Amino acid sequence: MTEMVYGAVPAQGGEPILPKWWRTLDKWSMSCVLILFGVGLLLGLAASPPLAARNGFDPFHYVERQAIFGGAALVAMLLTSMMSPILVRRLAVLGFLCAFVALALLPVFGTDFGKGAVRWYSLGFASFQPSEFLKPGFVVVAAWLFAASQEINGPPGRLWSFALCMAIVAMLVMQPDFGQACLVLFGWGVMYFVAGAPMLLLVAMAGFVVLGGMVAYSSSEHFARRIDGFLNPDVDPTTQLGYATNAIREGGLFGVGVGEGQVKWSLPDAHTDFIIAVAAEEYGLILVLIIILLYASIVVRSLLRLMRERDPFIRLAGTGLACMFGVQAMINMGVAVRLLPAKGMTLPFVSYGGSSLIAGGIALGMLLAFTRTRPQGEFGDILRGRG
Amino acid sequence: MSRIPLRPLARILEARSKGENPDVIERENIRQRHEEMQDRARARAEGRLLVLGVFFFCAFSVVGARMGLLATSEAQEPLASAQGANIATQRADIVDREGRILATNFETHSLYAQPPLMVDPVAAAAGLAQVFPDLDKERLIKDFTGKRKFIWIKKRISPEQKQAVHDIGDPGLLFGPREMRLYPNGMLAAHVLGGAGFGKEGVNAAEVIGVAGVEKQFDGYLRDPANGAKPLKLSLDLTVQAAAERVLLGGMKIMNAKGASSVLMNVHTGEVISVASLPAFDPNDRPRPPTSGFDPSDSPLFNRAVQGVYELGSVYKIFTAAQAVDLGLVNSETVIDTSGPMRIGGFPIGEFRNKNYGKLSVADIIVKSSNRGTGRLAMQIGSKRQQDFLNSLGMFDPTPFEIVEAQGGQPLFPKQWGELSTVTISYGHGLSTSPMHLAAGYAAIANGGHYVSPTILRQKGPQYGPRVMSPTAARQARKMLRKVVTSGTASFGEVPGYAVGGKTGTADKPKPRGGYYEDKVIATFATLFPAHDPKYVLVVTLDEPSILAYGKKRRTAGWTAVPVAAEMIGRIAPLLGLRPEVEPGETAGITLTSN
């Protein structure tokens, strides 16, 4: 009767958001992220008291901050992962524009906190590093451009995204922040690779990289010293690397015990770049392997899920985000075990750092949104006899 | 799904002929093309994503494997530096001209602790405090029971101390071999040798590097393994150096001087046989440089003979006379009017104690040390030629003497070298040089007119530099110098049998803020001996001497520096192998022969 009088309640189109989110989400990856965040807090408890002592705070000052920022990051991640890819793309493009402007204005309003590179905005209670937010935004924009270029009569998206990439790299190099610049370049390269870069070009690029490396090695003494130091089988124990290597050795399989580690007192970057050394010393190889496993599962699972994805934009954006995330973790840990030459890079979601945490949360939220299960038109394939 | 015709436009033509809208078919074609393209891209991306996934999996596996390898390898005791950058331990010895050791190496040990290995840290700390009274027991206990894993306790310990520490018997107290630089002669030639300290340090070895003197100047040579630890041979003579330092120290005390220096130089080879600066220090335990509230030039580390530049006064007059003779302006008998008053640029030129010598021969100007006389000679020479001559004697640059401190001995001279400067510099005021500069200048007079550069290295034969004056001028100058001793201001300088010739110089010390002290002088005696055929030049300088003699305070060099120099010559000339000789008379030209 009511319906006859007032008209029918408009039917809900499709599933409610939360059940749909839960059903389609890559729950394994999300669990890995949550565990990683927990590990980050645990290691913060171990690694940051020396820093707090040096700066005259309570022993767990940085852990508290990490927990607050981490909570915000988790909320951001969950919210982002609930969005549809289109909404993610729209917001990410807007965010990218803001971050781009912020990055461009850094030389004017930024501060270097006495570290020699202008990378931050000081907000009083916290600092803000635009390049961290720029990375996921750039991946989305570039993926959009790549995807658009794959349409018939589409814009020349590859060229545009390459120009954009170069502009960002140039700004990052000027700061200077070679690590982030390399990450951005790497992210673009991976997307170009998946978007179908010609094989010949890839071989030529590999050749150029080797050639450039050799030229740099023979002409730049600084570069040559780093490489020599890397190739030299003996580590100078007074360097950060020496301390890190020694810490890993001291830790052994099961670690020296909670709170017993020494390396955090000697390494200035124990809470960021060398947090894996702290983990290895106090908790041993076990925890390190778990951390590596967590990163590997997030990246590999995401890539495998993206293989089934038909939408080129989602595929490319997901690839860029997953690879950037993975490579950052890999470089960080590879440096600590001397598989790679020294380069400062944070361990995403574990190292201390507000911007990096929240930006990492947003990036992972996007990744989770992109890797959600979606109807991929398999039915149509079967119908058309191509399945 | 309809069959795609071979001709792309066939369907459209067909549709047209049927009157249907061909756009629908066109759209359908495009959609199909697009789908095919997407499928191709997807297939390619699938493969490449798989490649990426495998790559990441492998990379993470490698990191994990490497981590496992590292974690299961043994932790090592830290080495000071990586292999391949070995610390060169053997440092070459330094010897004197006869091969006697001046500096050598000595095997000692350093002592360090590794608290984790300790059995009884408290007992170990107590034992150490007993062996080394300067260590604080409480502090050691705190260090040993704290978190530290490695502590240096002593950088160098003697064999006896090592045994005593060994007897404590704690496995956490460990020794590292240390090569230590040893100067067996103690304070002898301290300023020449300088000293050495530890550079790079590790548990098993430490690098010894020179910090001053020849140790620093020749650091590269001494450390170079390619030299095969061949000793560095200096021109110093250990016995002469010992005698010279002893006499100088005695003289300094008797003359109540606060500092003294002496330079003994071979006039033909330029070899410096002995060089001393007092007060001195022990290079085995080199003191720290003074930091503040203290004039660095009064520090024992300061080398007065080489680093210190002073206005040395009348000793310079002989250069003016020698140059005037060399230029042919005068000879030693030419009479010059030295009577006053003499004013140059409004500045009166006076004599010592306001004497007036009247008319004097050039030789007598030197003997009586007349300021106005040398001033008149200098005015005849002219400022340009005077500068060139002093420059040729090396008076404007630091001496090339091979110890690092020599670079600090930069002479001071007026930028505007006017007539007044010409006159004052002719008698040694307004130009500040080191005693080493002066010795090199006198060597040129002594060896017949060649500049020789002073050197600390053993030479094989004469090392004559460019000629700076004629042999005649040099001979006449030597005669004047001899006359100063026989009948002039340096009469206390006569040493029987060694025919000493020389010139005194007593210069008022300049105040730091301009002007001169009334009662502080630098007294210098520059000599060559034997005057008829000089072999050596000796320069003795006393800083602020004063002695009570014949009821008067005496500060002039004739009363202070000259007797010290004479005593020194009397002691060292026999050591140098000089035989006392009867001086040939005025009948020069007739050689004495014996059959």
Contact between B174 and B114 under an 8 Å Cβ cutoff? The reply is: yes
At residue A316, does pLDDT exceed 70? yes
Backbone angles phi, psi at A272, to 5 degrees: -120, -80
Residue A297 at interface with chain B, using a CB cutoff of 8 Å: no
Answer whether residue A277 is part of any domain.
yes
- CB spacing of B41 vs A292 below 8 angstroms: no
Once rounded to an integer, what is the mean pLDDT over residues B204-216? Answer: 79
The set of residues, in sequence order, having a beta carbon less than 8 Å from that of B293 and lying 6+ positions away, is: none
Which region among A214-228, B183-197, B484-498 has the lowest average model confidence (pLDDT)? A214-228
Give the bridge partners for B412, in sequence order: B432
Q: Are residues B385 and B495 in the same domain?
A: yes
For chain A, the straight-line distance linking the first and the last C-alpha, in angstroms and rounded, comes to 49
Answer whether residue B435 is part of any domain.
yes
Once rounded to an integer, what is the mean pLDDT over residues B243-272? Answer: 93
Structure tokens at B510: 């300049």
The domain that contains B192 carries what CATH number?
A: 3.90.1310.10
At residue A386, does pLDDT exceed 70? no
Q: Is A53 helix (H, G, I), strand (E, B) or coil?
A: helix
Question: How many of the other CB atoms lie within 10 Å of CB of B459?
Answer: 15
Give CA torsion, residues A45, A46, A49, A54, to 10 deg.
-140
Which B residues in the span 146-185 are in contact with A, Cβ-Cβ below 8 Å?
147, 149
At residue B356, does pLDDT exceed 70? yes
At residue B250, does pLDDT exceed 90? yes
Show the domain range for A93. Answer: 15-372
Once rounded to an integer, what is the mean pLDDT over residues A326-344? Answer: 83
What pairing do the DSSP bridges indicate for beta strands B232-233 and B94-95? parallel
Which of the residues B1, B70, B77, B79 would you substitute to probe the A interface, choosing the one with the greatest number of A C-beta atoms within 10 Å?
A: B70
A289 → closest Cβ in B44, B64, B73? B64
Number of domains in chain A: 1
Question: How many of the other CB atoms lie within 10 Å of CB of A8?
Answer: 8
Which of the residues B67, B87, B148 would you substitute to probe the A interface, choosing the one with the greatest number of A C-beta atoms within 10 Å?
A: B67
Answer whether residue B429 is part of any domain.
yes
Give the bridge partners for B537, in sequence order: B265, B528
Q: Are residues B356 and B449 in the same domain?
A: yes
- CB spacing of A237 vs B42 below 8 angstroms: no
Chain centroid to Cα A384, Å, comes to 40
Q: Are residues B420 and B552 in the same domain?
A: yes
Once rounded to an integer, what is the mean pLDDT over residues A160-181? Answer: 87
- CB spacing of B73 vs A295 below 8 angstroms: no
Answer whether residue B49 is part of any domain.
no
- CB spacing of A306 vs B74 below 8 angstroms: no
A300 → closest Cβ in B42, B56, B81? B56
Once rounded to an integer, what is the mean pLDDT over residues A167-172? Answer: 90
- CB spacing of B71 vs A284 below 8 angstroms: yes
Residue A230 at interface with chain B, using a CB cutoff of 8 Å: no
Percentage of the residues of chain A whose pLDDT score is greater than 70: 92
Q: Are residues B287 and B394 in the same domain?
A: yes
Q: Are residues B409 and B313 in the same domain?
A: yes
- CB spacing of B67 vs A245 below 8 angstroms: no
Q: Are residues B147 and B284 in the same domain?
A: no
Which of the residues B2, B51, B60 would you substitute to probe the A interface, choosing the one with the greatest number of A C-beta atoms within 10 Å?
A: B60
Once rounded to an integer, what is the mean pLDDT over residues A253-265? Answer: 79
- What band does B251 get if pLDDT is binned at 50, 70 and 90? very high
Chain A: give the shortest CA distance to residue B85, in Å: 10
**Distance between CA B132 and CA B122 in Å, rounded?**
15
Residue B116 at interface with chain A, using a CB cutoff of 8 Å: no
Using the 8-state DSSP alphabet, how is residue B73 labeled? S
pLDDT digits (tens, 9 = 90+) for B152-209: 888 888 888 889 988 888 888 888 887 788 899 988 989 998 888 877 766 666 777 8
- pTM, two decimals, is 0.53
Q: Are residues B481 and B550 in the same domain?
A: yes
How many Cβ contacts (< 8 angstroms) between chains A and B?
134
Nearest to B309 by CA among B402, B406, B416, B451: B406
Mean pLDDT taken over chain B: 85
- CB spacing of A196 vs B41 below 8 angstroms: yes
The set of residues, in sequence order, having a beta carbon less than 8 Å from that of B263 and lying 6+ positions away, is: B272, B274, B275, B305, B435, B436, B438, B439, B454, B537, B538, B539
pLDDT digits (tens, 9 = 90+) for B46-88: 899 999 999 999 999 999 998 888 888 766 555 444 443 444 4
Q: What is the pLDDT of residue B446?
A: 92
Number of domains in chain B: 3
Residue B517 at interface with chain A, using a CB cutoff of 8 Å: no
Contact between A288 and A280 under an 8 Å Cβ cutoff? The reply is: yes
Which A residues in the span 160-189 are in contact with B, Cβ-Cβ below 8 Å?
none
Using the 8-state DSSP alphabet, how is residue A155 labeled? -
Which residue's entry shows tokens 């330079």?
B263
- CB spacing of A312 vs B149 below 8 angstroms: no
Contact residues on chain B for A300, CB-CB shorter than 8 A: 53, 56-57
Residue B85: C-alpha distances to residues A237, B69, B110, B207 (Å)? 13, 26, 21, 11
Which of the residues A194, A283, A313, A315 would you substitute to probe the B interface, choosing the one with the greatest number of B C-beta atoms within 10 Å?
A: A194
Contact between A360 and A69 under an 8 Å Cβ cutoff? The reply is: no
Contact residues on chain B for A246, CB-CB shorter than 8 A: 75-76, 78
Q: What is the pLDDT of residue B140?
A: 85
Answer whether residue B419 is part of any domain.
yes
Chain B: give the shortest CA distance to residue A6, in Å: 42
Residue B27: C-alpha distances to residues A58, A154, B34 (Å)? 69, 16, 10
Q: Which amino acid is at A366?
A: M
Residue in B closest to A194 by C-alpha: B45
Q: Are residues B453 and B370 in the same domain?
A: yes
Chain B: give the shortest CA distance to residue A262, in Å: 8
Residue B59 at interface with chain A, using a CB cutoff of 8 Å: yes
DSSP for B329-390, written as a single string: S--TT-EEE--S--EETTEE---GGG----EEEHHHHHHHT-HHHHHHHHHHH-HHHHHHHH
Answer whether residue B164 is part of any domain.
yes
At residue A156, does pLDDT exceed 80? yes
- CB spacing of A237 vs B78 below 8 angstroms: yes
Which of the residues A230, A231, A265, A300 would you substitute to probe the B interface, choosing the one with the greatest number of B C-beta atoms within 10 Å?
A: A300
Q: What is the pLDDT of residue A367?
A: 93
Q: Are residues B158 and B280 in the same domain?
A: no
Residue B72 at interface with chain A, using a CB cutoff of 8 Å: yes
Highest mean pLDDT among B177-186, B243-252, B580-589: B243-252
Question: How many of the other CB atoms lie within 10 Å of CB of A275?
Answer: 29
The length of chain A is 387
Chain A: give the shortest CA distance to residue B196, in Å: 25
- CB spacing of A249 vs B41 below 8 angstroms: no
Residue B1 at interface with chain A, using a CB cutoff of 8 Å: yes
Which region among A219-223, A299-303, B44-48, B441-445 has the lowest average model confidence (pLDDT)? A219-223
Residue B3 at interface with chain A, using a CB cutoff of 8 Å: no
Once rounded to an integer, what is the mean pLDDT over residues A353-368? Answer: 89
Using the 8-state DSSP alphabet, how is residue B456 labeled? S
At residue B394, does pLDDT exceed 80? yes
Q: Is B261 helix (H, G, I), strand (E, B) or coil?
A: strand
Answer whether residue A379 is part of any domain.
no
Once rounded to an integer, what is the mean pLDDT over residues B315-334? Answer: 90
Contact residues on chain B for A248, CB-CB shorter than 8 A: 67, 70-71
Mean pLDDT taken over chain A: 84
Q: Are residues B189 and B268 in the same domain?
A: no
- CB spacing of B48 vs A333 below 8 angstroms: no
Which region among A194-198, A370-374, B2-6, B337-341 has the lowest average model confidence (pLDDT)? B2-6
Question: How many of the other CB atoms lie within 10 Å of CB of B503?
Answer: 34
Once rounded to an integer, what is the mean pLDDT over residues A37-48? Answer: 87
**Distance between CA B22 and CA B241 in Å, rounded?**
117
Once rounded to an integer, what is the mean pLDDT over residues A90-108? Answer: 90
Highest mean pLDDT among A45-49, A154-158, B49-53: B49-53
- What band does B354 get if pLDDT is binned at 50, 70 and 90? confident
Contact between A295 and B29 under an 8 Å Cβ cutoff? The reply is: no
- What band does A100 get if pLDDT is binned at 50, 70 and 90? very high
Chain centroid to Cα A340, Å, comes to 18
Answer whether residue B62 is part of any domain.
no
**Distance between CA B526 and CA B267 in Å, rounded?**
13
Residue B549 at interface with chain A, using a CB cutoff of 8 Å: no
Residue B27 at interface with chain A, using a CB cutoff of 8 Å: no
Residue A337 at interface with chain B, using a CB cutoff of 8 Å: yes
B41 → closest Cβ in A242, A312, A326? A312
Percentage of the residues of chain B whose pLDDT score is greater than 70: 92
Contact residues on chain B for A252, CB-CB shorter than 8 A: 71-72
pLDDT digits (tens, 9 = 90+) for A10-31: 666 677 888 888 988 889 999 9
At residue B400, does pLDDT exceed 80? yes
Answer whether residue B64 is part of any domain.
no
Residue A117 at interface with chain B, using a CB cutoff of 8 Å: no
Q: What is the pLDDT of residue A387?
A: 46
Contact between A326 and A299 under an 8 Å Cβ cutoff? The reply is: yes
Which of the residues B28, B44, B61, B63 would you substitute to probe the A interface, choosing the one with the greatest number of A C-beta atoms within 10 Å?
A: B63
Q: Are residues B306 and B402 in the same domain?
A: yes
Nearest to B280 by CA among B297, B303, B257, B262: B303
ipTM computed for the complex: 0.89
Residue A306 at interface with chain B, using a CB cutoff of 8 Å: yes
At residue A236, does pLDDT exceed 80? no
- CB spacing of B52 vs A303 below 8 angstroms: yes
More confident residue, B593 or A18: A18
B57 → closest Cβ in A151, A248, A300? A300
Q: What is the pLDDT of residue B292?
A: 62
The set of residues, in sequence order, having a beta carbon less than 8 Å from that of A37 and lying 6+ positions away, is: A70, A73, A74, A349
Residue B2 at interface with chain A, using a CB cutoff of 8 Å: no
At residue B385, does pLDDT exceed 70? yes
- CB spacing of A310 vs B49 below 8 angstroms: no
Show the domain range for B199. Answer: 94-233
Q: Is B515 helix (H, G, I), strand (E, B) or coil?
A: coil
More confident residue, B82 or B481: B481
**Distance between CA A371 and CA B336 in Å, rounded?**
111
Residue A303 at interface with chain B, using a CB cutoff of 8 Å: yes
pLDDT digits (tens, 9 = 90+) for B98-117: 989 998 888 888 888 888 88
Contact between B536 and B273 under an 8 Å Cβ cutoff? The reply is: yes
Q: Are residues B147 and B276 in the same domain?
A: no
**Distance between CA B348 and CA A372 in Å, rounded?**
105
**Distance between CA B427 and CA B319 in Å, rounded?**
9
Structure tokens at A114: 């006495």
Once rounded to an integer, what is the mean pLDDT over residues B251-280? Answer: 92
Answer whether residue B52 is part of any domain.
no
At residue B260, does pLDDT exceed 50? yes
